[in-house]
Structure 1
Amino acid sequence: MPILSDAKVRALKPMDKPYKRADFDGLFVLVNPNGSKLWRFKYRWMKKEKLLSFGKYPNLSLKQAREKRDAARKQLAEGKDPSFVRKKEKEREEAQHRETFGKLADALLEKKRKEGKSAATLAKTEWLHALLCADLGSYPISQLSARDVLVPLKKMEAKGRNESALRMRSAAGQIFRHAIALGLIDNDPTFGLRDALSRTPVKHRSAILDPEKVGGLLRAIEEFDGQPTTRIALQLLAMTALRPGELRMAEWAEIDLEKAIWTVPAHRAKMRRAHLIPLSDQALGKIYELQELTGWGQFLFPSIRSSKRCMSENTLNAALRRMGYSGDEMTAHGFRATFSTLANESGLWSADAIERALAHVAGNEIRKAYARGAYWDERVRIASWWASYLQQLADSNGQQ
């Protein structure tokens, strides 16, 4: 039977010296001369007597003290030292309060840098983190709830920037999962926000898909009166179906004129895998023309302001606008859709080879390994056919 009752504990009076009154199973209350009554739990661990403090009466009732004692005895039965468990829990709580959302965001960004993420990816991540940290950065990450995270997301959504809000949610989720990996929290609160934001209909990048209109576009590019390097960039974009960023940042070291291969290194490729592009005779001709203009430097397409930087990301789309093509008609990225559509519609080539030409990744590791080499010969033929087909469209006003 319990020795103590709530009434007995309440009736205990201070004496000149501290004294104890036992309950049972190691629990007792320590009464100090100043009148404080402190709950203690006495137990043995590794043949040594140890004490664990539970709290102060009446802030901690007799019932609550017994519950803490029972929990400690359960830990002992599981082979755990309650004092050590308490110490680790305290350290974790202190770390949770030290580790703010902003600190974890910075740590994740640094991790991405060390992993060799592209400059564009790092810049976008840093931008998203700044938007999130404006509202969340100073708070301990362990105290943030889904409702807290929703605040900056809804602000962005209210501006009509739904896609940015969705990207912010994804970026926040990465930060919370990084904290989970570090043992700071147990759950990602953004998981419950998957349906909290409105999704705008996907708008594909504009592209010209009609052969006759493609011919008109190619003639407009040939007659472009701006920078020669911009004209050549658009012509090579059409022939190679490269991503605009991969083309703009290309370096001369990536071009093997003898083998007629252009290699986009893994650190610049979107899928983080090196991408080889077979060069047709027409593409080689454009590269030789470009070599006379920029072959002395690092980049195929240097900025007009500094040869140490590549062409601006706005240059190609600005050139298309200058030719009279609106953003709803054609974009620099649209050349990929033009190639994909017309190459598939030709019925001459396998869909897999066309996908490889676009540097799209197969869905499983075995197929990816096979696809890297199996379609090379076909891709060489596709490159030659495509360049000749484009020339035919430009020469014949698109009539086949």
Structure 2
Amino acid sequence: MLEILRAVESRGVRETAKRILQRSRAVFQYGIMTGRCPRNPAADIDAETVLKKGTGVKHMARVKPVEIPQLVRDIAAYQGDLVTRLALRFMALTFTRATEMINAEWDEFDERAAEWRIPPERMKMRDPHIVPLSRQALDTLAALRELNGSHRHVFYSVPGRSHISNNTMLYALYRMGYKSRMTGHGFRGLAATVLRELGYSRDVVDRQLAHAERNQVTAAYVHAEFLPERRKMMQHWADHLDALEAGAVVIPMGSSRGANIGI
């Protein structure tokens, strides 16, 4: 039991390990009540003692920005399941949370408007979260529609399941050689870092990341005012990834040389 918990914790998800322990206690307790097991081994484990203390801020594993070119090349060359490869590509382009993406349904997308509106209930927000779609994201979506257009979920893959799981993408990254170095969630941190370096304001980047805004008036203002900038930013990000994949030199917007895409 302890070995299992520590294996989960090693992936950087301490809270998940704690929830597994809690549920295991309940399962074993039921087993005792029904005569299926003599004792509850999970009851002897104190999560606060055996699991490492969290820092209060969870930083998912991610490669360094300098490693992005090889990462996007590895994703493009991935020889596993095609839906998984397209999912990783789409996540890199949109940097949404994994749970938000893998649950995506076709009716959330307006391809003419180049928008993905994630329902508020999945975001734990009052309003839908708008993800402007770059040309590259729309191309990826078109490829997924050819594969899964008849299914409810965009990232449907394995018969018997509604969609791929977060672990599907995680294990694909493992097979590419990124175990303990990159997660699906890691694209968010990479995008936040690089987009700031490319000259985008923290407010614009944070709004696209759907970070909670404490002041509701400010939140409404940010939503209304920053959408055009976010559209520009998302296309710039997609072009930036393509330039890096092709091996171009990328110069930030603040550079005296004036270029901001690959040269």
C-alpha contact (below 8 Å) 1:208/1:214 kept by paired residues: yes
Deviation track 1:89-108 (CA, whole Å, cap 9, x = no partner) reads xxxxxxxxxxxxxxxxxxxx
CA apart distance, 1:321: 0.4
Runs of 4+ more than 6 Å apart: 123-129, 131-136
Query: Following TM superposition, by how much is the alpha carbon of 1:161 offset from its aligned partner in structure 2, in angstroms?
Result: 2.6
Task: Indicate yes or no: 2:96 matched with 1:242.
Answer: yes
Task: Tell me the C-alpha RMSD between the 2 structures.
Answer: 2.9
AA aligned to 1:298 is R
Kept in 2: contact 1:242–1:358 (CA 8 A):
yes
How many angstroms apart in 2 are the aligned matches of 1:132 and 1:367? Answer: 44
Q: Which one-letter code corresponds to 2:59 in the other structure?
A: H
Distance apart, 1:204 and its partner CA: 1.4
Task: Give the Cα separation in 2 of the matches to 1:203 and 1:364.
Answer: 23
Higher strand proportion: 1
1:341 partnered with 2:193: yes
User: Residue 231 of structure 2 corresponds to which residue in structure 1?
Assistant: 380
Corresponding residue SS for 2:121 = coil
User: Rg bigger for which structure?
Assistant: 1
* Aligned counterpart, 1:252: 106
Listed as ranges, the gaps of 5+ residues in structure 2 are: 1-15, 30-42, 252-263
Determine if contact 2:117/2:131 at 8 Å carries over to the other structure.
yes
SS at match of 2:46: helix
Q: Alpha carbons of 1:216 and 1:155: their partners in 2 closer, same or farther (altered >3 Å)?
A: same
Aligned to 2:64: 209
Per the alignment, in what secondary structure is the counterpart of residue 314 of structure 1?
helix
Partner of 2:220: 369
Q: CA deviation at 1:206?
A: 1.0
Q: Deviation at 1:276?
A: 0.7
1:297 and 2:156 matched: no
Distance 1:313 1:238 in 2: 14
> Normalized against structure 1, the TM-score is what?
0.51
Change in CA separation of 1:398 and 1:235 when aligned onto 2, cut-off 3 Å: farther
Q: 1:313-324 maps to which residues of 2 (within 5 A)? A: 313-324=166-177
| Aligned mates of 2:210, 2:149 — CA distance in 1 | 26
1:161 corresponds to which of 32, 39, 51: 51
Considering Cα pairs closer than 8 Å and 6+ residues apart, tell me whether 1 or 2 has the greater RCO.
2
- Name the SS for the 2:170 alignment partner: helix
Structure 1: runs of 5 or more not aligned: 1-122, 137-151, 163-198
Q: Structure 2 length normalisation: TM-score? A: 0.76
Aligned partner of 1:356 among 201, 207, 222: 207
What does residue 8 of structure 2 align with? Answer: none
Contact (CA 8 Å) 1:215, 1:398: kept in 2 or not?
no
Tell me the equivalent position of 2:183.
Answer: 331
Q: 1:216 to 1:397 in 2, by over 3 A?
A: farther
**Per-residue deviation, 1:134:** 8.5
Aligned residues: 224
Tell me, in whole angstroms, the C-alpha distance in 1 between the residues paired with 2:215 and 2:18.
Answer: 27
Partner of 2:231: helix, strand, or coil?
helix
Residues in 2 aligned to 1:399 and 1:372: alpha-carbon distance in whole angstroms: 29
